[in-house]
Chain A
Amino acid sequence: MSALKKVSSNPHVRSKVTTTSIMLAVIISLLPATGFGIYNFGWQRTVPILIVTIGSCVLTEYIYEKALKKRVTVGDLSAVVTGLLLALNLPPTAPLWMCVIGGVFAILVVKMLFGGIGQNFMNPALGARCFLLISFTSLMTNFEVDGFTGATPLAALKAGETVNVYNMVIGKCAGTIGETSMVAIVIGACFLILTGIIDLRIPGTYIASFVIFVGLFGGKGFDASFLSAHLAGGGLMLGAFFMATDYVTRPITRNGQYVFGILLGILTGIFRIFGASAEGVSYAIIIGNLLVPLIEKITYPKSFGKGMEKSA
C-alpha cells in the first residue's frame, strides 16, 4: 500500500444537521413574525432597528473573538439569531443607539464573557431586553405608533378594559416588533417543530400551565375571551416557542423540560396577574434559565435497565 488510509473512531458517518443549519432554521422560522412586524409598524421604523440590532450582535462577537485571538464563530449564525430575537423584542419606537447597547450587552456580557456559544447562563436576547427594560424603562415601553393608542392590549386588559381578541391573534395591535402576531409566530413554530428543531415539551407545558394559572387566579375564571387575550397578548407565544426553547438555557433532561415549562407558566402568571407590570414573560424565562442547573440535577434520567437485578 502506497498511502495510509485515514482512521477515526466510530461512527464513520454523521448526520447533516449542524449548528449552523439549526440556527438558519430558527432564522427562517422567525421570518413570518419579522415580516408581520415590518408590515404592521412600517419598514421605515422597523428595518433600521432589525439591521442595527443584528449588526451590533454579529460585530460584537467578531471583534471580541478577533481581539482575544479566538476562533471566529460568527459563521454559526447564532449571533444573528440573538440579534433578530432581540430586535423582535424591542418596541418599534426604539432609538437606534439603544439597539446598539442591547446588542453589545447581549453578546458581550451575557454570551462571550461566559465562554461564548453554549456557555451563556441565560438567553442573551432576553438578558439584553431585561437590561434595557430596567435601564430605559420609558423608551422600552413606548408603543405609541401612528394609528395606534399607546397601550398594549395586555396593559389595557390589566386596566380592566376590553380588548379585541381577533386583532390580537392576527397581530393588529401595539407591542414589540415581533410579538404581536400569534398567527405568524405559530406558523414559524410549526416549521421548527416539523423540522425537529424544537418539540412541544416546553411550549406545551408552559402554555398549559399558564392557562391553568390564569384561569385559577386571574379573577375571571376560565373565561374563553379573557384566556385567549392572555395567550395572544404580549410575548407569551414568542417566548414559549422561541426563547424558552433556546437549547443552551433550557434543561437538557426530558423531565427537566416539563418542570421548566410548568415553572415558566406559573412565573409568567404570577408576574402578569400579581405584578406591577402587565408583562412577565421575559422575567419568567430568565429566572427559569437561572434555575436550569438545579432542575437538571434533580431530573437526571434513569439509564436503560437501571435497577434491574440479576435473576440468577
Chain B
Amino acid sequence: MAKFTFVGGVHPHDGKELSKNKPIKEFWPTGEMVYPLSQHIGAPAKAIVAKGDQVLRGQKIAEAGGFVSAPIYASASGTVKAIEPRRVATGDMVMSIVLDNDGKFEAVETEEVTRNVDELTREEIIDAIKEAGVVGMGGAGFPTHVKLSPKDPNKIDYVIANCAECEPYLTSDYRRMLEAPEELIGGLKVQLKLFPNATAIIGIEDNKMDCVELMKKLTANEPRILVKTLRTKYPQGGERQLIYATTKRRLNSKMLPADVGCVVNNMDSMTAIYQAVVHNKPLIERIVTVTGDAIKEPQNFRVPIGTNYEELIDAAGGFTTDPEKVISGGPMMGFSLFELKIPTTKTSSSILCFEKDEVSKLEPSACINCGRCSEACPSRIMPGILADLADHHREEEFVKRDGLECIECGCCSYVCPAKKPLTQSIKSMRKIMLAKRKK
C-alpha cells in the first residue's frame, strides 16, 4: 500500500507505548479552575461574569472579542473568585477567570438534542461552531469558524482530518479515534455539508494501523471520505506537510490552506465540531495525555478545560522522581514549564514529565556543516545558515534566504550533532521580523 509523506523530517523516539493502551479516563477536578481569556489566536475573549457570580457547567463566561476570537464556557460549577492575570503554559501572564470549583459540576439545564446536519443551513452550522468556542486543538488554537469560512466554499476540494499525531509521546488523538470514531466522522460530515465540492481525507500515521483499519471499515460506504495512511515521521501532522502528503499541493508561509483548496482540522477539533453542531454542546473538555518517564501511571484523561496541571499529574499517580523537565505539549514543539500551576486550555494536548532534562546540559559546539539540518527541514530551507544569520542580526539576508518559511518544528535542532539551538535562533528572529512586518 502506498504511504503518503513529505520530504525531510525526523524519527525521534516515539514513547507512545507508555500511554497508548490506557483507555480515556474521566477526570473531575476538585481545585480551582482557571480560564485564560486568550486560549486561541486572535483577540482575547471578553469576560461576561464578575467576581462573586455563581456559574454553572456549560455557562458562557466570556464572549468572543472579535471575528477572529472564540467564547469560553465554564467546565465546572462554582463562584467566580477573581479575574486576574495567571500564568499559562507559554510562560506568559494572561488575564483569566478564576473559578472556585464547588465540586458538584452542576450543569446548565439544556435539552439533549441531536440535530440532523442535512437540515441545517451553512450559517447555522458556522454559528453553532462559533458559539461553541471551537478552536484548533492541535496547538495553534486558530478559531475553527474562521477556518471554515473561506471566500468561496465551492473552491474547497479537500477537507483534511489531521489524525497524524506525529508528536512523540502523545496518544490523546489515538485513543479518541479508537473510542469515538463516529464523532470524527460526524465532524467530517458537517464539513462536507459546508463544502459541497470537497472530499474528506483522514490522514493517519502508519504507527496507528488499528485506527486506519477501523476508519476504513467505518467509512466503507462513504464515497466522499477517504482514509490515507501516512508514513510515521515527524512533523507529518504539520499543516503544510499534511496537505502535501495527502494532496501533493504545496503552500508557503504567506498562504492559507484555503488558497490551495484545503481545510485542515485537528482530530480533537473535529470531535468538538461534531459536538457543537449535532448536539449543540460547547467546548468544555478535551483529552490530555499525562505521560513521561517521571509519571507513575501514564494516562489519557478527559479533562474539563481549566483544570490545574498539578491535579492531573496527581491523578496519574504523581511523580516517580522529581522531574527535571515538564513540558506542556509534545517534546518537539511543546513549551517547557518552570512551575506546574498551569491551567489546561483548549490547546493542551499533553503534560510530559521527564526525569532527566537532556537539553539544558548540552553544550553547543561549532557547526561542522554536516547538512543534517537542511536534510531534515520540512520547509526545505537551510537552518544552519539561517541560524547563523539570525545570531548576527542580518535581517535582510535572513528574509531573502526564506527564513520566514520556517515552521518552528524543531527538526533542525533535533538532528544537529553540534547541538546548536538552531530552531531557537530562527524562531526568535522570525518573531522580530514578523512583528516588524505588522507595523
Contact = CB atoms under 8 A, between A and B. Distances in A.
B334 A10 contact: yes
A138 interface: no
Given A12-B359, A252-B369, A6 B324 contact: yes
Interface in A1-34: 1, 3-15, 17-19, 21-22
A304 B240 contact: yes
B290 to A, nearest CB: 15
Interface string B409-430: 0110111111101011001000
A252 B365 contact: no
Contacts of A248: 368-369
A194 interface: no
A166 interface: no
Nearest to A307: B252
B417 A5 contact: no
Q: Pick from B151, B252, B334, B357 the residue with the most CB of A within 10 Å.
A: B252
A134 interface: no
A306 B334 CA distance: 27
Contacts of B10: 15
Contacts of B372: 17
Given A302-B380, A311-B155, A14 B252 contact: no
- Interface size grouping (class) on chain B: 35 or more
A303 to B, nearest CB: 4
Nearest to B374: A252
Question: Chain A: interface secondary structure?
Answer: loop
Interface in B87-115: 91
B263 to A, nearest CB: 14
A49 to B, nearest CB: 26
Interface in B30-78: none
Nearest to B365: A19
Contact of A10 (B240, B326, B410): B410
Contacts of A6: 324-325, 336, 338, 357, 360
A3 B337 CA distance: 12
A7 B331 contact: no
B318 interface: no
Interface stretch (B179-187, B254-262, B276-284, B298-306): B254-262
Residue from the set A1, A7, A116 with the largest chain B CB neighbour count within 10 Å? A7
Interface in A247-275: 247-248, 250, 252-254
Contact of A8 (B13, B252, B359): B359
B405 A304 contact: yes
A224 interface: no
A147 interface: no
A144 interface: no
B12 A18 contact: no
A11 B410 contact: yes
Contacts of B357: 6, 8, 12
A65 to B, nearest CB: 12
Given A7-B338, A8-B336, A9-B421, A303 B12 contact: no
A120 to B, nearest CB: 10
Nearest to B400: A300
Most buried by B among A13, A306, A312: A13
Contacts of A117: 365-366, 368
The 10 closest A-B pairs by CB, nearest first: A11-B410, A305-B252, A9-B424, A303-B402, A118-B366, A305-B250, A7-B336, A303-B405, A247-B370, A11-B332
20 contacts: A5-B339, A6-B357, A8-B360, A10-B335, A10-B424, A12-B334, A12-B359, A19-B417, A19-B418, A76-B365, A250-B369, A252-B371, A252-B385, A304-B250, A304-B380, A305-B250, A308-B250, A312-B151, A312-B155, A312-B258
Interface of B: 7, 10, 12-13, 91, 150-152, 155, 168, 240, 244, 250-255, 258-261, 322-327, 331-341, 352, 354, 357-360, 362, 365-372, 374, 378-382, 384-385, 401-402, 405, 408, 410-411, 413-419, 421, 423-424, 427
Interface of A: 1, 3-15, 17-19, 21-22, 73, 76, 78, 115-119, 247-248, 250, 252-254, 300-306, 308, 310-312
